[in-house]
Structure 1
Amino acid sequence: MTNEKRAWGVYVHIPYCVKKCAYCDFVSASMGTETVREQEQYAAALRAEIRHAAPPLFTRWGSAATAYFGGGTPTALPAHLLTGIISALREAAGIPEEMTVEANPGTVDEAYFRQLRAAGANRISLGVQSFDDALLRRIGRIHTAAEARAAFRAARAADFTNISLDLMYGLPGQTLVDVRESVCAALALAPEHISVYGLTVEEGTPFAAAEAAGRLELPTEETAEEMYDYLVAELPARGYLRYEISNFARPGYESRHNLGYWRSVPYLGVGAGAHGYIDNVRWENERDAAAYIRRVTAGEDVRRAEDGARTQTAAMEEYAFLALRTAAGIDEADFRRAWGTPFEAVYGAALPPLVARGLLRRADGFTALTPRGMKFGNEVFAEFLLY
């Protein structure tokens, strides 16, 4: 262990939602009348975990560079609980240069945002998904398009100068016209960052049950492809550069925290169901919020799924998959520094066919997906498996 300064991040998981969306398989649960007391206990447990786990990393590497509050819905917590967690993080991990809080438009107002800003948050990620009220109801969102616009303006009024909007495509009953209208509505607000996600029907969700029963009317593959093609052409044309498969930003407003994931930067995960990655070891915390609270209160370790130090082969595969998600791609010199072997020596045989098919480009010491490669990324990733 050294005291050399190194970039690292903190991910904080808040597993509460006002209502769980029909497509969501994240660690989260809808709130009931009994949840208020549990939220207080959960916030106390989170503060305790942060105060235990973050100081050794602060001593080792200095202040965390980034922090990200995700969920669930972080803003489902009362503001004083969320800002208390932020304060504990700043005390234990230092003051991150970028601190993002995910927010549901149906849970926030200007007063809430002002409290977050005063506590040290400087980036907001609004889960809008669509500006079509009928679609929002269909997927289980609690907000309307008008409330999404109001939430964005409230964040601006509270002095947030870095705001991201999430949009989705491929939703049940959604058309290309719907996607175009939502993009136009998002662009009219002029956010700094836009994320776009295609719907994936995850096992165990209401959408999966509806699909199994033949009641989920999804767009055809052709229509979903048209939506994708429109998004990846329109957003860059409007000044939002694509820096990762699903993420677009004005220059200088890329999510530093998420870039850390894709560049294999270490991060501490705290909270129920949070994942972390330190010293080539990945883990997942206890997923059940009540059990998480009990274990933290009892002074027990909440990391329930450490995979141990992985083989170099598995680590190289993961490094390649994550880096290829970014527009920059794999830095071949960094690959050699990380693994002690030339990139060509590991993947040389796989590269020429992918370049010939127009899926990869190689230049200036980087190997990256082409626009076509981003569209068919799974085909490329399969060729980066090491058997």
Structure 2
Amino acid sequence: MSRVEKRVPRSFYIDLGNPTHRRATMIFSTGTVIFLFATAIGSYRAYEFTESVTFCGQICHEVMEPEYTAYQKSPHARVTCTECHVGPGAGWFVRSKLSGAYQVYATLFNVYPKPIPTPIKNLRPARETCETCHWPEKFHGSKEKIFDHYMVDEKNTKWSIRMLIKTGGGSKEAGIAEGIHWHMNLANEVDYIATDPQRQEIAWVRVKDHKGNVREYMSEDNPIDTDDFKQYKIRRMDCMDCHNRPTHIFDSPSQAVNKALSAGRIDVKLPYAKKVAVEALIQEDYPSKDSAYVAIDNYIREFYETEYPQIAQTRKEAIDQMIREVQKIYRWNFFPEMKVRWDVYPNNIGHFLSPGCYRCHDGRHVSNDGKVIPNNCKNCHIIISQGTKNESKLIAPDGLEFKHPEDIEEAWREMACSECHTGTSQL
């Protein structure tokens, strides 16, 4: 009878004295180190890529095309998306990735809104992002700015407004804050309640000055019952309440054509160039950019061939250049697939096409003791010259009263600019 040997399994061991074990250990260890190193490099590269402008603007090309296009020609074109939208620190990095997970889902399943809404509620406080480069306390004095407008008449009459904008600033060391940046000085606190998601309807304002005096103002047009205060969020004013479109800027047709005329990209000597260019951009809601380019070409050519046949023959090159420029304006500012154009997003700088400053400075916010938030033009800027070419040569250091290019009598005193100026044919 044969004996069956019962084998006891040996425990795992590595014998470095054994050449086979030693060689296997060296191969495994070397491979592990290389793998971990490659993983670390790959992870960092992946992280670096997800933080890049390419990832934000081009991976989801159709979704982010308007924002990425506007970004490329903006004052912040050399600043990465994450420097503003995320900023430093792990906390906001994690929040951005969690938020981004939903955005990836929305893109994959085509459930994202058109247009993409401004992430007002999710933006990091401006003091933690904007003020790492822009320090309100270090802005002082006034800044000269010239606004060139062109009328919609045959001669494309130029109407310029040259003004000193009281940027202001100030600090405890430099003295009491003044100018527009008075709102942002650390010595002052401005809080408000907006009753709409885009913060265009401001119903209540509270101001605390450098002496500790507090005054509350209520809108006469949109008052809030004191019993309803709890349902609203009180917000502390910061940079983004005025500079809400610092990068993703979409010019209105009128603004874009004005710039092109000033720069000579559209010949100002072409009759009705301003009027025709603007009309070509907005004559209808084009379904796509390609259809817009064709329609713009046809509209401009047809106008000059019909109304000015001699100019259509002798100034063909200028008309071709005008067509190319208007098509370019459309390409940079209109995105029919995403339903984006200039009037989708309010721009709070100034008060020309959006309420902007007039959200508070409308003369309709009154305190209990009868004080009114002022709407005097000279509080924020001084017009030192205005008018046509000859008129604008006359300089008034103490400031001029605003003169409207068209005779609307005193209506400009009683209405907000944005009630008439929509960005289309007016100036």
* TM-score of the superposed pair, with normalisation by structure 1: 0.26
Q: Higher RCO, 1 or 2 (CA under 8 Å, sep at least 6)?
A: 2
* TM-score of the superposed pair, with normalisation by structure 2: 0.24
- Greater radius of gyration (CA): 2
